[in-house]
Structure 1
Amino acid sequence: MTRGTQPHPLVVTLVLDDDTTARFEAERTALFPAGRTKVGAHLTLFHAVPGERLDLVRAQVAEQARRAPFTLPVTEVMALGKGAAYRLDSPDLVALHADLQRAWWDDLTRQDRQPLRPHVTVQNKVDADVARATVDRLRADFTPFTATGEALAVWRYVGGPWEPVERYAFAPPAP
Structure 2
Amino acid sequence: MTEQSKRKPLVATLAISTYAQSYFNKLRKQHFPAERNYLDAHLTLFHALPDEPWIMEDLKKLAIDQLPFEVNAQSIVSLGNGTAFKIASPELPLLHQKLQKNWFDFLTDQDRQKRNFHITIQNKVESQAAKKLQADLAKNFKPFSFTIYGIDLWRYHQGPWEYIMNFGLGQDSPSL
Judge same fold: TM > 0.5, yes or no. Answer: yes
Per-residue CA deviation, residues 116-157 of structure 1 (Å, 9 max, x unaligned), is 111100100100110011111111110010010011011100
How many residue pairs get matched? 170
1:38 is paired with a residue of what secondary structure?
coil
TM-score, structure 1 normalization: 0.93
In the alignment, the residues of structure 2 paired with residue 6 and residue 91 of structure 1 have an alpha-carbon distance, to the nearest angstrom, of 37
Distance 1:4 1:62, change over 3 A: closer
In the alignment, the residues of structure 1 paired with residue 171 and residue 115 of structure 2 have an alpha-carbon distance, to the nearest angstrom, of 23
In the alignment, the residues of structure 2 paired with residue 154 and residue 19 of structure 1 have an alpha-carbon distance, to the nearest angstrom, of 21
Give percent identity, aligned residues only.
36
Structure 2 unaligned regions, length at least 5 = none
In the alignment, the residues of structure 1 paired with residue 5 and residue 144 of structure 2 have an alpha-carbon distance, to the nearest angstrom, of 45
Per-residue CA deviation, residues 71-112 of structure 1 (Å, 9 max, x unaligned), is 001110000001000011111111010000011100111110
Distance 1:105 1:4, change over 3 A: closer
TM-score, structure 2 normalization: 0.92
Query: How far did residue 172 of structure 1 move?
Result: 6.0
1:65 is paired with a residue of what secondary structure?
helix
In the alignment, the residues of structure 1 paired with residue 91 and residue 106 of structure 2 have an alpha-carbon distance, to the nearest angstrom, of 23
Query: How far did residue 6 of structure 1 move?
Result: 2.5
In the alignment, the residues of structure 2 paired with residue 168 and residue 160 of structure 1 have an alpha-carbon distance, to the nearest angstrom, of 23
In the alignment, the residues of structure 1 paired with residue 4 and residue 33 of structure 2 have an alpha-carbon distance, to the nearest angstrom, of 31
Matched, 1:12 2:3: no
Aligned to 1:49: 49
Aligned to 1:93: 92
In the alignment, the residues of structure 1 paired with residue 97 and residue 84 of structure 2 have an alpha-carbon distance, to the nearest angstrom, of 22
Aligned to 2:112: 113
Summarize the alignment of residues 115-130 of structure 1 with structure 2, pairs less than 5 Å apart. 115-130=114-129
In the alignment, the residues of structure 2 paired with residue 6 and residue 113 of structure 1 have an alpha-carbon distance, to the nearest angstrom, of 23
1:155 is paired with a residue of what secondary structure?
strand
Distance 1:3 1:118, change over 3 A: farther
Superposition RMSD on alpha carbons, in Å? 1.6
Aligned to 1:140: 139
